[in-house]
A = this chain, B = another copy of it.
Amino acid sequence: MTPFELYNPTKLIFGTESYLRISHEILEGAKVLLTYGGGSIKSNGVYEAVMKELKNFQVIEFGGIEANPTFETLSIALDIIKKENINFLLAVGGGSVIDGTKFLAAAALYEGDSWDILKKGIRVTKALPFASVLTLPATGSEMNSGAVITRKETGEKLGMGSPVLFPKFSCLNPEVIKSLPQRQLKNGIVDAFTHVLEQYMTYPIGADLQDRLSESILKTLIDIAPKVIFEPYDQTIASNFMWCCTMALNGLIQKGVPTDWATHMIGHELTAKYHIDHAMTLAIIFPNLWRYKFENKKEKLAQYAERIFNVNTGSTEEKAEQAIQKTLEFLHSIDVKTQLREYTENYNGFSDEVKQTFETRNWIALGERKDITPEDVRKIVEMSC
């Protein structure tokens, strides 16, 4: 186990009545910017419920924050924040809206060009207070301090984070799942599942408890996935789904262990080129990344096979092979495609493109051992086509 610091001051308010806490958690007299995305909150009842709780506050709305939130859109919101002297942000949406709102919280108090926060990797030391009402379980943004922002103009997609960028509170009402289309439920499951794997499927480091905590989330997600995706709404199932997504990326399971994240880095290129949903790109990449880095990962793969899929016979290598096989079976069982060719015929030459893209960046080798080069990425993408 490596040394670590764990700090997470977000107040998680979980349950069907969680919105009732909103007015108590926001400082009296606050002037609130309510941020949201494409507008589904106006048809599913969430907007109305939240606005009811905000009746004693001055509220200005800013909608239209897109999936993969852009610097361009957020810059418009930033102007409003400054012009209107907004002093509290309430994100009502999924990971993109919350990520975008984190950028706004940081940018509002940043002196200088706000793009520098991302471009220069500045860890801001002050931010506007903000909170979230989660409408789409998947990214964990509701209980972490990180965000990913895209600049349309340049095609850059960059991460940011700071200990001052935890939501003050986040309301998690499992009923939001009722109105989600199957595609988004599937994305949520696979996103959370891969988040855990990025922090788990590396090499053994004697972090027994963290391993078991990660396995808890994986096992629960596998158990509930078909029910979440294919069966009618059930509050118990929805609650477990929502809680798994938060726990998958609230920082807990990464403490004291190596993490990978190469799948995410590579997956982003599939979204950029083919507009495949983020989570679905992960399912294309990670099984092949496991194959390619088999020697590095086989011990953890075997442990995962044993504990998640009850594979109790065979050598470490055989169990590790089974781990990949059983994971693919799981993904296929919930109708998740695991090869790029299932999305497009136009994949020839893509692996070379990705290699070049990675080469032209300030390249840092990827993976838990920092040993995945652009050429390795090319091979992984080739296997994933």
- Contact assessment for B243 and A209 in the assembled complex, using a CB-CB cutoff below 8 Å: yes
Contact with B along A231-271 (1 / 0, CB 8 A): 00000100110011001000010011000000000000000
- Contact assessment for B6 and A18 in the assembled complex, using a CB-CB cutoff below 8 Å: no
Residues of B within 8 A of A13 (CB): 5
Residues of B within 8 A of A14 (CB): 1, 3-6, 255-256
Contact with B along A55-71 (1 / 0, CB 8 A): 00000000000000000
What is the interface size of chain A, counting residues whose CB is below 8 A from a CB of the partner? Answer: 42
State whether the Cβ of A44 lies closer than 8 Å to any Cβ in chain B. Answer: no
State whether the Cβ of A280 lies closer than 8 Å to any Cβ in chain B. Answer: no
State whether the Cβ of A224 lies closer than 8 Å to any Cβ in chain B. Answer: yes
Residue with the highest number of chain B CB atoms closer than 10 Å, among A6, A219, A256: A6
Residue from B3, B9, B11, B219 in contact with A5 in the complex, judged by beta carbons closer than 8 Å? B11
Chain copies in the assembly?
2
Complex-state Cα separation, A247 to B239, whole angstroms = 22
State whether the Cβ of A17 lies closer than 8 Å to any Cβ in chain B. Answer: yes
State whether the Cβ of A111 lies closer than 8 Å to any Cβ in chain B. Answer: no
State whether the Cβ of A354 lies closer than 8 Å to any Cβ in chain B. Answer: no
9-residue interface stretch from A210-218, A284-292, A377-385: A210-218
Residues of B within 8 A of A18 (CB): 3
Complex-state Cα separation, A209 to B216, whole angstroms = 6
State whether the Cβ of A85 lies closer than 8 Å to any Cβ in chain B. Answer: no
Residues of B within 8 A of A17 (CB): 3
Residues of B within 8 A of A16 (CB): 3
- Contact assessment for A220 and B212 in the assembled complex, using a CB-CB cutoff below 8 Å: yes
Residue from B10, B12, B215, B256 in contact with A243 in the complex, judged by beta carbons closer than 8 Å? B256
Q: How far is the CB of A208 from chain B (nearest CB, A)?
A: 5
Residues of B within 8 A of A243 (CB): 1, 209-210, 256
Residues of B within 8 A of A9 (CB): 7-9
Q: How far is the CB of A360 from chain B (nearest CB, A)?
A: 38
Interface members, chain A 191-222 (any B CB < 8 Å): 206-210, 212-213, 215-217, 219-220
Residues of B within 8 A of A215 (CB): 212, 216
Residues of B within 8 A of A209 (CB): 216-217, 220, 240, 243-244, 247
Nearest-CB residue, chain B, relative to A4: B14
**A residues adjacent to B (C-beta < 8 A):** 1-18, 21, 206-210, 212-213, 215-217, 219-220, 223-224, 236, 239-240, 243-244, 247, 252, 255-256
Nearest 4 pairs of A and B residues by beta carbon: A3-B15, A212-B216, A206-B236, A9-B9
* 19 pairs of residues in contact across A and B, judged by CB atoms under 8 Å: A1-B239, A3-B17, A3-B18, A4-B12, A4-B14, A5-B12, A5-B13, A5-B21, A6-B11, A6-B12, A7-B11, A8-B8, A14-B255, A207-B240, A212-B215, A212-B216, A212-B219, A212-B220, A213-B213
Other A-B pairs beyond A4-B15, A209-B240, 17, CB < 8 Å = A1-B14, A3-B15, A3-B16, A4-B14, A5-B12, A6-B12, A9-B9, A206-B236, A206-B240, A207-B240, A208-B220, A209-B220, A209-B243, A212-B215, A212-B220, A243-B256, A252-B252
